[in-house]
Amino acid sequence: MEHILEEFYELVQIPSPSLGERKMADAVKQKLRELGFLVTEDDAGKITGGSAGNVFGRLPATEGFPAEPVLLAAHMDRVPGGDEIRPVTEGGIVRSDGTSILAADDLAGVCAIFDGIRRVLSEGLPHPEIEVLFTISEEVKLRGAKNFDFSKVHAKVAYCMDSSGRIGRIVTGAPKIEELVIRVYGKTAHAGNEPEKGRNALKGAANILCDIKDGRIDHETTANWAVISAGKVTNLVCGYAEIHGEVRSHSNEKVTEYENYVREHVRKKTEGTGLGAEFEAVLNHDAIRVSDDSICVKRLQEAFRRIEVPCHTEIGGGGMDANIINSRGIEAVGVAVGYLKNHTFEEMLYEEDLQKAGRLVYHLISGRG
């Protein structure tokens, strides 16, 4: 078994849920120190209510090496369902035993980073300053990256080894995402004695949702309404209901357009009903779009050429740490590392892609053929 796969097996068996990354943080800190990195952990865990902070490592450049610093990023947390992972490999594909997720999202990225760095150091190759960021709570609104102090980063380009798909996929765009909340205010009354004195907020919420525009709004915009909470007992007319959803788009303007639409839709649906309503939109993160002609993408394309893997740029539909990194003035793209069906018990990882991802990192930081 290749060392990178052995390490993957090791790490996936360490529990690391969002806000509970303590054991994983300790493991990756030790591995970075063994490679000679200066390692720090921030207080993002305290801010977010988690058990660990973001782990940041820096390895100075080889003396006289002219290349600019490089930031490599991946996240330590995983979605629920990964507390007891038993990985198995068959036919070149790694899966769990079917009772859990695999957590290749994003431990495949973590392992690719370690593998590439080890290759460079073991061969004694010159390298630029290497910075590594392992974030917490990426799976819960990118909280780790949002609470990291990027002023300590020297690199102007970053590679997030955290995208689904076969090796060769470069994610250069990700949408702006906003969380949406509609609050409906009615009036409670005893459901048996005087229901006519009440105003049913749940019924009003249902009326709002019954014909609201959602799903695929256009080629770059989607909206989804998924959570509703209301009364707790059946003997009271429901006095309050709350609806939660989201909108995401590669156009910031279209997000604003959807906000305005929902606000007007809610007004029309509650007008004359005796119900009150509020609408709130909360920014999760802004959209990103990195040019195919950027230095970041060009360097990545060259690294793919060196490992003889065809590559292509693509616009993604989900958020990632690269959204936050870009917003902090560092050009960042997502890099697929070979996992598919992430967040499900059918999650899978191509062993060949994992190994190639390690070699890709090697060429990103060494520039050697």
Catalytic residues: 77, 138
Under 8 Å between Cβ of 4 and 354: yes
Q: Which helix (H) or strand (E) holds 300?
A: helix 295-306
> In whole angstroms, how far apart are CA 161 and each of 11, 19, 104, 247?
16, 21, 11, 25
Calpha distance 190→235 (Å, rounded): 6
> In whole angstroms, how far apart are CA 159 and each of 122, 123, 170, 295?
22, 22, 10, 12
Under 8 Å between Cβ of 281 and 174: no
Under 8 Å between Cβ of 340 and 164: yes
Calpha distance 73→160 (Å, rounded): 5
Under 8 Å between Cβ of 363 and 301: no
Edge-to-edge strand list for the sheet holding 348-350 = 88-90, 93-95, 348-350, 339-340
Q: How far is C-alpha 78 from the chain's CA centre?
A: 10
For the stretch 40-49, contacts whose Cβ atoms lie closer than 8 Å and that sit 24 or more positions apart, written own/partner, are 42/147, 42/148, 42/149, 44/136, 44/137, 44/143, 44/144, 44/147, 44/148, 45/19, 45/21, 45/136, 47/147, 48/19, 48/136, 48/137, 48/143, 48/144, 48/147, 49/19
Calpha distance 103→342 (Å, rounded): 8
- DSSP calls for 240-287: EEEEEEEEEES-HHHHHHHHHHHHHHHHHHHTTTT-EEEEEEEEEE--
